[in-house]
Amino acid sequence: LSVALSGTVLARCPACARNFANLYCNNICSPDQSLFTNVTRIVNRTLLLGKRELAVVEYQCFYQQDFAD
């Protein structure tokens, strides 16, 4: 959903939309997240049927220059 919304905003620049989607997917799906991600804020949330879990709502990412380029 987040990638689809950004695609709408970035529709005028397909390269920007692809770059953003690539960055988003690397942030969310990388098996090496712990090497470049620092969670800075979590919250408790309640799911259906009263089940509680932690959710990450803020994080910092650290990239090497060659990845950013």
Confidence (pTM): 0.60
Report DSSP state, residue 1.
Answer: -
Given a cut of 70, whether residue 68 has pLDDT beyond it is: yes
Given a cut of 80, whether residue 16 has pLDDT beyond it is: yes
The residues spanned by each domain of the chain are: 1-30, 34-64
Count each helix (H run) and each strand (E run) in the chain, helices first: 3, 2
Over the chain, what is the mean pLDDT? Answer: 85
Segment 27-60, tens digit of pLDDT: 888 899 899 999 999 999 998 888 999 999 999 9
Given a cut of 80, whether residue 25 has pLDDT beyond it is: yes
